[in-house]
Structure 1
Amino acid sequence: MRGKQVKVLTSLENLNDEEESIPMADLMYNVRLLVSLCEVDILKIDQDLKIERGVIVALRKEKEELEHDAARQDKQLYSLSEIANELERVSNQCRLGLLTLESVAKSFGDLQKVFPEEYKLFRLSTIACSFALDLFRRLFLGWDPLVKPEDDHQLSVVSIWKDLLQDDEISDLLYSRLLMEVVFPVVRTSITNTWQPKHPEPLLRFLDLWEELLPQFVLQTILDHVVMPKLSDAVDSWDPRQDTIPIHVWIHPWLVLLGHKLEVLYPTIRTKLEHVLRDWHPSDASAYTVLSPWKDVFNRGTWEQMMISCIAPKLLVVMRELEINPADQKLEHFYWVQTWVGLIPVDHMLHIMDVFFDKWQMALYKWLCSNPNYQEVNDWFVGWRSLIPSELLSTERVRCQLKVGLDMMNQAVEGLAVVEPGLREHLSDINARNQSQFLAQQKAAAAAAAAQADKTAMNDMSLKEVIEVHAQHNDLLFKPKPGRMQDGHQVYGFGNISIIIDALNQKVFAQTEEGWSSVTLEKLVMLGKTTAIKRR
């Protein structure tokens, strides 16, 4: 063997020919072999070195963690030692009777600042409450929250403890429990024994001062289980005829705190008010003082029903008793009615004013027939108009009534015969004439629409608006269907059906299972609610 391959020689000839082609072949082979072996050794040594370095890094990290744990444990040991020493000091003060709420709060407040993690971990707030509970009971012994609550030492002490105990959820529960066990019983006793619901100011002042200190649960417990029963009893015993303090004075201040919970008292209040109003006369202004604050408190339907049944009939009688005398006018009856304009529904007030205008127009007619001083008549007219409240003066009905009087005045000034007002019938004639004029104008508009496309569009819009109003009143969807036309008319969706509007003939056609047919507005609403045909 003279190389890396085995060769069998049968002759010694040409033995050195191969050696001449590769000089020192044996040496080169051996060198390469040694290099390969060294390379393997180097790679193994490098791998071992990396492993050892990783071990060193891991050991260093473990050492750091152990040192950190040791430092943390030393810190915890120090913290626990300091906390134990402070607790021992507080316990010694407690045994000696030297402990105060301020000193306990300061001690645990310092622990909370210096050792916040340990304070939460070991729930030191619970220990603080155990030291403070008896001290709180002694502090609130004999305390009356309704007597100068703003000067109380209790307010400042509870404020300190609120800051101490409201650090986390557990502390919040401890604070609420502390106030329920200490403050609530005292407040409940004071309210039950000494507080008068008709004089709410002391309790309201206490709740206002303690609002930020009382947890929501404690506040609601006081309102629901202490205040509401007292108010309910006071409402039950309230007599509108005898009590000099109006009920809204001592009920409405609780609207902010109790809100809708007061609604359970309203039926009793309304019943008693309605009972008293049976014997009421509009000359008694106290009824307005008592009732007016309740307009925005009672729901609209209940309020209007009470006004219609209890007040409006009395005002109608007073208005019928009113005498219109330009020579010596007495306005007391009119003022009694005028007072209630903002409280009674407008339509009922207009009915009362119709009675007034019947008399007013007749008095004006008689005056104009007696050859009067027209300047005096004008001043009389302007004066009455100024007495009519703006809520009524803005209505079409009142404006028409005044126009009747103004027309009579114009007839007299122009020397024409003054037409005697026909009271209610005359007003009906005027309305009928106006209606006839309106229908005639509609027909004229329809005829013009046949000749002019723009007028047709205007009529279409008017009829469409009427249908839209019906849709809104009946909670139905009304909208055009883009790209849908029928006989040259735009197709609209009305609830569950399709309709078209023929403005020229003032008709509405609805698509039913039988096809397109003319319908009235009433039938249209019925179809819109019940029909569910397939839309094209």
Structure 2
Amino acid sequence: MTTNTEVASFSELAAKRLPIAEKDKLASDVRLGMELSFGRMEDLKREQVAAEARVDVLSKKMQQLSTSIERRLTRTSYLQTIRDSVCAVQAAAKAAHVRSAESAKKDLSVLYDAYERLYETARQIEARHKFDVWGELRLETVVTGTIHDHLQRTFNSWSPTTHPHLVEDILVPLHRYVHLCDDGDLGERLTPFESLLHRTLVPCLRRFILTQWDPLADDLSLPLSRLPLSTAAAVSGDISRRLLRYVDAIEPREDMRNASHAVSDLRIDRVVIPWLPYVYDRAELVTAVRHKLCAVLDYWTPTKENNGKIISLLLPWLEIFQGKEFRRLCAKISDRLEAMLRAEFQFNAQRQTIWPFKVLVKWHGLLPFDDWFSIVKRQVLVKFLDYLRMWLEDPNANYAEVADWYWQWKQMYPPEIFSVEAAQHEFKKAVVLMAYALSQRESLLPPNA
């Protein structure tokens, strides 16, 4: 409700007219005040946004600190669990005592159980917290460090031939807890486990190979096949040297000239080839074997009785030799076969000696075809054509017998050679000779004959 005094004041104010300049000043003051008010409001809003941002940053930092503290507490918890497991392994290692190589598996069983509990604990923590405990904490070194002395004592009393399963019994179970290098890293860098084997197993194994091992009687294949590649490579040179000693001891001259010795005594392959997978550098060994086999061939005179034995002696190596070693051995075989054919083989339709040719045929498929067929051409086909030409020049020759003789000889060759163009060309010469001789005889017949 408006009082009379207020009405009078309004009336006076309405009746009072302000000058225009004062009105403009008043309007300007009002605008300025409004602008200042709006500016202040913007500043307050910016201050509010900045304050909210600072609060968010502080909240995130608090959350990160909380997460970090939680992780540290968790890490402390599982580190304590791992520490307890490691202490259990160390206690089991101190309590274990290896009495002999034969009882090593049983004597170390408690220690191996402790390894398994440590490993499973690490895997459970990894599954729960996505953290590679085994790798990050290098727990592999706990295994290699606690087993070292036990392996040293075990292998010092170990004979690979007496206890061939020892490697499989006490080393293979450790593969679950350790890393091994692959083929590509072989020789580059040893893992802790491989370094352990180089200090414990390798010296004992090398000593046995070089001083006691009989490659013919003692089977090392089981323990060698269970070793890591780098460990097997460490004894590869010793295996090669031991095999070289065996090869060097062979006397081909005595064995080939002594009738009491069988060619089977020279079967180097039975001793050497089973161990070639464990010899990484074969060059020297293969060369030594090739020298011995070539020496055998130097004292070999091919006969139908000994040809099969020589093939049995050389065949395994024809599949192994490569490059120049293969070529040199094949050249020696070719020389001996060619010498036999020159001495023993001539064509005679009435009293033919066939066994030298059959000996040669046995080598088809063993020698490179070009080498084998070169012998055939020089020592068989040339003589064949000369004899055929001489027979056809005989005025009394029976061409039916000549043709039958030709086909019988042709059937004695391996059928597959006739798909080779060089062989077709050589046999075509015989057909041309017979066709020409027949045409010449027909031209000499009387017209009414």
- Return the TM-score normalized by structure 1: 0.62
Mark the CA change 1:147 to 1:398 in structure 2 (over 3 Å): closer, same or farther.
farther
The within-5 A match list for 1:88-99 is 88-97=87-96
Partner of 2:250: 238
Q: Is the 8 A contact 1:248 1:293 kept in 2?
A: yes
Q: Identity of paired residues, percent?
A: 19
Task: Supply the RMSD in Å over aligned alpha carbons.
Answer: 3.7
Partner of 1:383: 408
Equivalent in 104, 107, 110 of residue 114 of structure 2: 104
Residue 134 in 1 paired to residue 163 in 2? no
Q: Distance in 2 between matches of 1:41 and 1:314?
A: 116
Partner of 1:182: 200
Residue 312 in 1 paired to residue 335 in 2? yes
DSSP 3-state at the match of 1:280: coil
Cα deviation, 1:40-90, whole Å, max 9, x if unaligned, reads 321222222122212211211121121112112211221232223233333
DSSP 3-state at the match of 1:197: coil
DSSP 3-state at the match of 1:52: helix
Mark the CA change 1:329 to 1:106 in structure 2 (over 3 Å): closer, same or farther.
same
Q: CA deviation at 1:29?
A: 3.3
Partner of 1:480: none
Cα deviation, 1:281-334, whole Å, max 9, x if unaligned, reads 110313333334444544555544555456436534534533434344331122
For 1:221, give the aligned amino acid: A
Q: CA deviation at 1:347?
A: 2.8
The 10-residue stretch of structure 1 (95-104 or 82-91) with the greater mean CA deviation from structure 2: 95-104
For 2:404, give the aligned amino acid: D
Cα deviation, 1:374-418, whole Å, max 9, x if unaligned, reads 55443322111111345765425522442255336635884858x
Q: Is the 8 A contact 2:202 2:231 kept in 1?
A: yes
For 2:338, give the aligned amino acid: L
Partner of 2:376: 349
The 10-residue stretch of structure 1 (172-181 or 289-298) with the greater mean CA deviation from structure 2: 289-298
Q: Distance in 1 between matches of 2:143 and 2:323?
A: 54
Q: Distance in 1 between matches of 2:278 and 2:93?
A: 40
- Return the TM-score normalized by structure 2: 0.73
The within-5 A match list for 1:72-91 is 72-91=71-90
DSSP 3-state at the match of 1:195: coil
Q: CA deviation at 1:106?
A: 1.1
Q: Is the 8 A contact 1:255 1:262 kept in 2?
A: yes
DSSP 3-state at the match of 2:28: helix
Partner of 1:406: 434
Partner of 2:59: 60
Residue 278 in 1 paired to residue 305 in 2? no
Mark the CA change 1:255 to 1:141 in structure 2 (over 3 Å): closer, same or farther.
closer
For 1:132, give the aligned amino acid: I
Cα deviation, 1:194-242, whole Å, max 9, x if unaligned, reads 4323468x2334433x1xxx33322211212x21111211121123325
Q: Is the 8 A contact 1:101 1:157 kept in 2?
A: no
Residue 289 in 1 paired to residue 302 in 2? no
Mark the CA change 1:339 to 1:360 in structure 2 (over 3 Å): closer, same or farther.
farther
Equivalent in 303, 321, 324 of residue 347 of structure 2: 324
For 2:57, give the aligned amino acid: A
Partner of 1:519: none
DSSP 3-state at the match of 2:220: helix
Partner of 2:241: 229
Mark the CA change 1:403 to 1:124 in structure 2 (over 3 Å): closer, same or farther.
same
Q: Distance in 2 between matches of 1:62 and 1:302?
A: 75
Mark the CA change 1:247 to 1:359 in structure 2 (over 3 Å): closer, same or farther.
farther
Q: Which has the higher helix share?
A: 2
Q: Is the 8 A contact 2:300 2:336 kept in 1?
A: no
| Unpaired stretches in structure 1, ≥5 consecutive residues | 1-15, 418-536
Q: Distance in 1 between matches of 2:433 and 2:223?
A: 61
Mark the CA change 1:167 to 1:218 in structure 2 (over 3 Å): closer, same or farther.
closer
Q: Distance in 1 between matches of 2:217 and 2:180?
A: 38
For 1:248, give the aligned amino acid: D
Q: Distance in 2 between matches of 1:192 and 1:255?
A: 16
Mark the CA change 1:330 to 1:233 in structure 2 (over 3 Å): closer, same or farther.
same
Pick 1 or 2: higher relative contact order, CA cutoff 8 A, min separation 6: 2
Q: Distance in 2 between matches of 1:290 and 1:228?
A: 21
Following TM superposition, the consecutive aligned residue runs of length 4 or more in structure 1 with deviations greater than 6 angstroms are none
For 1:72, give the aligned amino acid: R
Q: Distance in 1 between matches of 2:221 and 2:406?
A: 52
Q: Is the 8 A contact 1:282 1:337 kept in 2?
A: no
Q: Distance in 1 between matches of 2:93 and 2:289?
A: 55
Q: Is the 8 A contact 1:318 1:333 kept in 2?
A: yes
The 10-residue stretch of structure 1 (28-37 or 406-415) with the greater mean CA deviation from structure 2: 406-415
DSSP 3-state at the match of 1:384: helix
Equivalent in 162, 187, 206 of residue 175 of structure 2: 162
| Unpaired stretches in structure 2, ≥5 consecutive residues | 1-14, 98-107, 127-131, 256-260
For 2:438, give the aligned amino acid: N
- Give the length in aligned residue pairs: 390
Q: Which has the higher strand share?
A: 1
Q: Distance in 1 between matches of 2:344 and 2:385?
A: 13
Q: Is the 8 A contact 1:101 1:135 kept in 2?
A: no
Partner of 1:333: 356
Partner of 2:11: none
Q: Is the 8 A contact 2:155 2:201 kept in 1?
A: yes
Residue 361 in 1 paired to residue 373 in 2? no
DSSP 3-state at the match of 1:49: helix
Q: CA deviation at 1:340?
A: 3.4
The 10-residue stretch of structure 1 (140-149 or 122-131) with the greater mean CA deviation from structure 2: 140-149
Q: Is the 8 A contact 1:146 1:203 kept in 2?
A: yes
Q: Distance in 2 between matches of 1:347 and 1:84?
A: 77
